[in-house]
Structure 1
């Protein structure tokens, strides 16, 4: 157990299992940038406002809103009054292996639909507060049951968040098996978007027809499956253009386009400008 100015408490062991809980403020807010391989992060805004930029996209969190991030999200900037951050690695708690217990795969983490933000209303804020208080107390323990208790509190906070997000995204309108199809689609897109751009590939993986997928998504969202695939491709394209020195041709190839013209047409159709113009525009904004 390690303690850093009582605002940060860390659990780690010889098995490379890692969990960190932090009371964020303006003095220590830069700790959010210390992301390691396989880290999952969620930040709960407890102040009046929290401004965070992820992959060049600004998010403005109100009090009791929670943002969920993986190691693949690039945090550019953050401005915190007060917030609470939980960060854990895959060794401590694997989102995939524990999906039947929590149901966060493809929803809170590893989803292709964007960065999830959960709004905790006043009726259940107390549930999160209780979880956090127990979290902090357990971080101070040192016995063979500590890890199990910490995992239980982590699961509780994730389950509470999943419930809110399922309701806000209309997943509650579906049977559990149908909602699981949508979550699995989101997860599959996250893993295969760079090579497979057609709905038929994902439908076959799910043993469903493209029409069935479209019908399910029409119940809960205005976004069709193909839109989700395209949006995920664009998110990665922007990321590579903004943060790497790869040529547009290399980025196109990385995203499964055999020729730069096809990729450029796709990008311009979505962004309004070509990939080259997009890179030049962002370079000017940074100077």
Structure 2
């Protein structure tokens, strides 16, 4: 069961359905849309960027178009998908936008478990979604955006309640840093570049990350290595070409970074695919 809303004047897309929305992901592919997977009575499992992830029963997982996924066991779930044109016109909202807590926070694969009370609330909200998908009129787009805003606000609140998040100023800085890295990691590898973009000194930026499990430089390197893995697995590009694509003038620099993070050389990864 899949229902889809398209607004041709803005290129907005919103999809609501079950596991059939992701049935083509039998091998690892990049998600084209922001995605929420909500499990019911059974757990689900999938590879996210080549790491197996289990979603407990009655839980919600949020994913961005940057993730590569491969379905392992996905049954009896509810899936919501949308593009930036549908929802992310709300980017001015720091907490519930497409650069908000659920998408570019400290953990980029947040899972929110629902208790019985919250489960009932999300079931009611889902029924309203279904009803609105059948109501085609001039305000349908705004109604669906309002419902998705409510869904994201509720999910964000539950995630914040269940996790010890840094104070607002620092988590905002982290989100903006993650977004900048996503936009520039192919060409910019230094902490200074991102610190300048955020109007901070590299030392101030590093100090702000002191309580996290990764430093700014580690986040940059992790993103470069992840992209190198993807290119090695899913393209026929040589290790040398991948190094150039990722902004390295000397391919040996990427090779050393890759081996430091994975314990393997790029050629070993390529040979095992």
Q: TM-score, normalised by structure 1?
A: 0.83
Deviation at 1:113, TM superposition (A): 6.2
Aligned position for 2:102: 108
8 A contact 1:105–1:183 mirrored in 2 = yes
Aligned position for 1:118: 111
- Aligned equivalents of 1:112 and 1:256: distance in 2? 26
Larger CA deviation: 86-95 vs 194-203: 86-95
Aligned position for 1:249: 240
Which runs of no fewer than 5 residues in structure 2 stay unpaired?
Answer: none
Aligned position for 1:226: 217
Q: TM-score, normalised by structure 2?
A: 0.87
Question: What SS is found at the alignment partner of 2:86?
Answer: coil
Aligned position for 2:79: 85
Aligned position for 2:259: 268
Deviation at 1:57, TM superposition (A): 2.2
8 A contact 2:106–2:175 mirrored in 1 = no
Aligned residue pair count: 269
8 A contact 2:48–2:69 mirrored in 1 = yes
- Aligned equivalents of 1:124 and 1:250: distance in 2? 49
- Aligned equivalents of 2:195 and 2:162: distance in 1? 25
8 A contact 1:248–1:275 mirrored in 2 = yes
Alignment CA distance shift 1:211-1:126 (3 Å): farther
Question: What SS is found at the alignment partner of 1:222?
Answer: coil
Matches within 5 A, 1:1-287: 7-15=1-9, 16-24=11-19, 30=23, 39-94=33-88, 97-100=91-94, 102-105=96-99, 107-109=101-103, 111=104, 115-122=108-115, 123-167=117-161, 170-171=164-165, 173-174=166-167, 176-219=168-211, 221-281=212-272, 283=273
Alignment CA distance shift 1:74-1:9 (3 Å): same
- Aligned equivalents of 1:209 and 1:87: distance in 2? 38
8 A contact 2:186–2:245 mirrored in 1 = yes
- Aligned equivalents of 1:148 and 1:114: distance in 2? 30
Question: What SS is found at the alignment partner of 1:58?
Answer: strand
Aligned position for 1:3: none
8 A contact 1:50–1:80 mirrored in 2 = yes
Question: What SS is found at the alignment partner of 2:88?
Answer: coil
Alignment CA distance shift 1:31-1:240 (3 Å): closer
Could you list the per-position Cα deviations for residues 35-91 of structure 1 after superposition, in whole angstroms to 9, with x for gaps in the alignment?
999522111121321111233222111113322233333322332221110011222
Deviation at 1:261, TM superposition (A): 1.1
Question: What SS is found at the alignment partner of 1:197?
Answer: coil
8 A contact 1:112–1:187 mirrored in 2 = no
Question: What SS is found at the alignment partner of 1:102?
Answer: coil
Deviation at 1:240, TM superposition (A): 0.5
8 A contact 1:112–1:228 mirrored in 2 = no
